Amino acid sequence: MEFFKDTSVKYLLGHYESLIRDAINRFSSDNIHIRIWKKDHTVWFDGDFKGKEKEIIERLGWLDLPIRMQSEYHTLTSASDEAKTHFKRCVLLGMGGSSLAPFVFSKIFGKADAYPRLTVLDSTHPLSIESILQEHDLRDTLFIVSSKSGGTIETISLFDLFYYKLSELMNNPHRNFWIITDRGSKLEPLAQERGIENIFYAPEDVGGRYSVFSFFGMLPGAVMGLDFQRALSRAIDMMNRCSGEVSFAQNPGLILGTVLGALSLRERDKLILSGSPEIFPITAWLEQLIAESTGKDQKGILPVPEKKLISFNTGDDQVIVYFRVRGSSDPLPEEHLQNLSKSGHPVIIIQLEDIYDIFSEFYRWEMATAMAGAVLGINPFDQPNVELAKKRTSEIISAWGRKEPFYVEPPIIMEDGISLYGLSGEFKMGSLSHAVESFLAQAGSGDYISIMAYLPINDRIDQLIEDLRIVVRERTGIVTTASYGPRYLHSTGQLHKGDGGKGLFVVITHKGDRDIPIPERSYGFQTLIMAQAMGDYLALKERGRRVIRIDMPSEFEDGMNRLINCIKNIEG
């Protein structure tokens, strides 16, 4: 779009350009760029507000958050100095909006000299937790407990565990814990009871997935040695370019959001996210922001991270976004992106000068996601379907805690230690291969397949899950995503249950033989993660979604390899 003057982004929209021009003109005439900054809730609900006015207005604090956060310069500097002086590593305990920005920082920026190494623990799998317990001396570890509400079961359970472990090693365990939360949250009195002095309060008018420029993002960044002043400067520059004083047609965030929303309404609702390897991890944050914000009211934009765009077979339901950083070690040829556009696929190329430009992108995409919600006619600041899986998980844990039987359907296939649950009706059941083939054969045009693995998080499992995702995609020709549980419950889990029912879901569990007790609870982390997997499985079935569960043997890596080979050997 030549009329949009922005050297950092290139839109190759082909025959959709006239559609986007019309949409831009319409929203410009409606003064959307001005109304957003005035916190006008009618941008998202015009007429029937459904009681959302207050909820929307109280979630727009992210608009000027980069500027507000500059006033915390001394707090962040002091925290950074203290962490560097007293700790060798930092472990962040959080989920979803409280953890994904720091996770991206840790992957893109790595470890800075003399600063603690940042690790994000957003898993309840006993083996993931055990790796933290065994890697280093806990006495040299700073734990940042990060939760907006203070009631997130994963975060609180991990907080209880590590506080208990440190209590066995030292007389003053509270010195190894910092807290990030809202004022008045459930976490605040617990932290005070344990004598924790470093409590950092996030602004209450900012939702979790829009909180990258609050303490939820900037404090872990400062601890790991991130130049937070430089980061905020990039964000403020983008914020100014997205302000209400800039015309709609020159507003980089609103233009992007209009493109995404308008194309989604034309059935281009799969957003393929790729980029230079140096910045590809940003797609993990984008996945939550986009999916949880837009996946509701039977609508949704599905973000699909794809590392190897060069080998990806595109379809008619997709939009391609490629992030290019100058000087990349593995740049994608411009010719390939141009050819995708010539083939009829909308392509968006975003140019970053260096890795600190991700902070410009954080803001651009926050504004774009809010705008996409306006185009789709939904509230991008709530998550109405997230609670269902939590409720089912709680019911399962309560039943198991009372030693009451909780009905678990029998497996329909048991083969080589792998059990498959969930298929019913007239499907081929002769073998695991037949059953999986029958399930995947349900996928049609416009659908997607999602693999949700309740497995430990490490590089080996990353590769196995990616191998499984690719083989499923290649055998079906259907867009396929993959994620860890319970991480996805706080991100794409909203879209899974809130969109138009386009997904097929494969929940992967395994019979772990190692458990870690949770202090002052009647169950351990193995029970918790299994209940979370079962809870979401039941929630998906309750929502009428197509879902199976595949339970792996204790040697789950071997089981994953057998499943991959099983799908490779499907005929057709």
Residue pair 378/44 in contact by the 8 Å Cβ criterion: yes
pLDDT at position 67 over 90: yes
- Residue 177 pairs in a beta bridge with 143
Give the model's confidence band at 513: pLDDT under 50 very low, under 70 low, under 90 confident, else very high: confident
Q: What percent of the chain has pLDDT over 70?
A: 96
pLDDT digits (tens, 9 = 90+) for 322-379: 999 999 988 888 899 999 999 999 999 999 999 999 999 999 999 999 999 999 999 9
Residue pair 551/560 in contact by the 8 Å Cβ criterion: no
Higher-pLDDT residue of 563, 426 = 563
How confident is the model at residue 3, as a pLDDT? 53
pLDDT digits (tens, 9 = 90+) for 112-136: 999 999 999 999 999 999 999 998 7
CA 385 – CA 381 distance, rounded (Å)? 13
pLDDT digits (tens, 9 = 90+) for 538-568: 999 999 999 999 999 989 999 999 999 999 9
Angle between helices 100-109 and 282-294 (to 10 degrees): 160
Can you list the alpha helix ranges (DSSP code H) found in 310-419? 334-342, 358-376, 386-401
What tokens appear for 78 in the block? 């002091």
Q: What does pLDDT average to over the chain? A: 94
- Residue 274 pairs in a beta bridge with 322
Residue pair 56/379 in contact by the 8 Å Cβ criterion: yes
CA 527 – CA 521 distance, rounded (Å)? 11
The arithmetic mean of pLDDT across residues 443-448, rounded, is 95
Q: Which domains does the chain have, with CATH numbers?
A: 9-52+241-376 (3.40.50.10490), 72-226 (3.40.50.10490), 386-568 (3.40.50.10490)
CA 236 – CA 390 distance, rounded (Å)? 36
Number of CB atoms found within 10 A of residue 140's CB: 12
Angle between helices 525-542 and 386-401 (to 10 degrees): 130
CA 259 – CA 50 distance, rounded (Å)? 26
CA 80 – CA 220 distance, rounded (Å)? 9
| Pairing of β 347-352 and β 413-415 | unpaired
pLDDT at position 428 over 90: no
Q: What percent of the chain has pLDDT over 90?
A: 85
- Whole-angstrom Cα Rg for the chain: 23
The tokens 């998202």 sit on which residue?
44
How confident is the model at residue 398, as a pLDDT? 87
